[in-house]
Structure 1
């Protein structure tokens, strides 16, 4: 397969699509693969996976994984030699999640006056606000803000920085974001400037970085990543939170809820809420032990 940009599309029943998505998540060679899963046709029960591989090896791996699932129809389409990510984002509508309104540059004139407006430009980072996992995190945060405030907030795997920026814009005096991807950190910093948000983004792997630890313990930790790292980081996230603090966990499929929640329940957390959007789940866990 050439290095030209491609989009891989798979359509089929929900159970098969969710199983295929879980297989993508479980493959260490596809850890950085970008894809979405959503219900395309409710009446016909058709679910759709869209993947945007960045290398030919990744494209071959994603296509092979999807084709191993009987019931999925998989197609690979060449993308024009253009900034296809920016082009695709330009057609996305704004997103409303509680008090938060997330929009791109193309929607500058459609911003309400009674919402917390977040302009997010994705570049090559994940997290425009349109993905079900990000919307779930914002909705969960909105509900929490109705009854409590969070002085210190950490966003693990910040991507575009939308969650840390949302915290800063709603009054958190300390908002820290981390990501293992240097371009994402750069993009998050640019988005913080666009939104006049006082957020400190750190290029770091894990939660043991000195710049992360010195601001803890945190009142709230966002972790919108994937199910395997959510499980692996359960003890570190507990250590970063004060007693009574909240973890908003996402990036997991509904079928992965039990595995992720069990890891946190065993560490002294209590499950307070689940939010489902399409095939994705967001868990609100409070540290009680």
Structure 2
């Protein structure tokens, strides 16, 4: 039986929506669910969650999770048979994050001459540069580049490859990205070629993969994934970094900062910076030992 695509839309206060989003993140049955959370009306404290399930079971699970939260209203809308991801991303404006300018083909004429321009077109992989987590990572990296250089960079959960490509375009001699999703790896390699960046991307299920270990220890590791895997990978990320190396972590809500940072502080990292964008957070941590 074919699945009729739907969009799930939830509204509520910031507290209610962040709690609902965190609930989704901790549900192992919804580990691959795609959703966004943003502020819709600051004056009225109205926040919105948009979810795009890929199966009926995932849709039912998302609705059930959201419905558990008092003050969150949920509605489900049927989508027409179209590539909604590509259609929606094609209309997104370009994004400036420090020295980086991320744009799509429709913004070719708006590229500034004084920026590191990254062309990332719409596709079936996460990381166009518009999401608060990706912007946070780029802003954090831009700030770090003002005082130090990173020869070897690893991007865990690379999606479109924008972060590793950004590293390759700003002097990294080795920029490696990994993802458990094979189509994402293909898209990332295409984007690297499009941007004339020497970043390379491999299909790997963890940091112990031989293709990942070959470049270790890295000077910097990006991990823009979700809070639970960030915690689970804390030791592996530590061991993939040189002493003094930096981890830029995102994919987590502000409410999840303490949980994620605690996992890394307990392993000898020092928290250097937090970057907030909408409900999302990016953490900059340095391995001290």
For normalisation by structure 1, the TM-score amounts to 0.99
Whether the 8 Å CA contact 1:122–1:160 is kept in 2: the answer is: no
Whether the 8 Å CA contact 1:156–1:222 is kept in 2: the answer is: yes
What's the offset of the Cα at 1:2? 6.5
Between the two proteins, the alignment pairs up a number of residues equal to 289
Distance across 1 between alignment mates of 2:281 and 2:170: 24
Distance across 2 between alignment mates of 1:84 and 1:122: 10
Task: Give the structure 1 partner of residue 222 of structure 2.
Answer: 222
Whether the 8 Å CA contact 2:154–2:218 is kept in 1: the answer is: yes
Distance across 1 between alignment mates of 2:6 and 2:216: 42
The DSSP-based 3-state class of the residue aligned with 1:8 is strand
Gaps of 5+ in 1: none
Distance across 2 between alignment mates of 1:28 and 1:81: 28
Whether the 8 Å CA contact 2:26–2:228 is kept in 1: the answer is: yes
For normalisation by structure 2, the TM-score amounts to 0.99
Distance across 2 between alignment mates of 1:174 and 1:93: 30
Distance across 2 between alignment mates of 1:122 and 1:269: 36
Distance across 1 between alignment mates of 2:22 and 2:87: 28
Task: Give the structure 1 partner of residue 252 of structure 2.
Answer: 252
Map 1:272-287 onto structure 2 (within 5 A). Answer: 272-287=272-287
What's the offset of the Cα at 1:246? 0.1
Whether the 8 Å CA contact 1:2–1:56 is kept in 2: the answer is: no
Whether the 8 Å CA contact 2:90–2:121 is kept in 1: the answer is: no
What's the offset of the Cα at 1:122? 3.8
The DSSP-based 3-state class of the residue aligned with 1:190 is helix
Cα RMSD after superposing both structures: 1.0
Whether the 8 Å CA contact 2:90–2:122 is kept in 1: the answer is: no
Is 1:53 the counterpart of 2:30? The answer is no
Task: Give the structure 1 partner of residue 4 of structure 2.
Answer: 4
Distance across 2 between alignment mates of 1:109 and 1:53: 34
Distance across 2 between alignment mates of 1:173 and 1:2: 46
The DSSP-based 3-state class of the residue aligned with 1:159 is coil
Per-residue Cα deviation, 1:95-114 (whole angstroms, up to 9, x for no partner) = 11000000111111111111
Distance across 2 between alignment mates of 1:163 and 1:195: 12
Gaps of 5+ in 2: none
Map 1:78-97 onto structure 2 (within 5 A). Answer: 78-97=78-97
Moved more, 251-260 or 74-83: 74-83
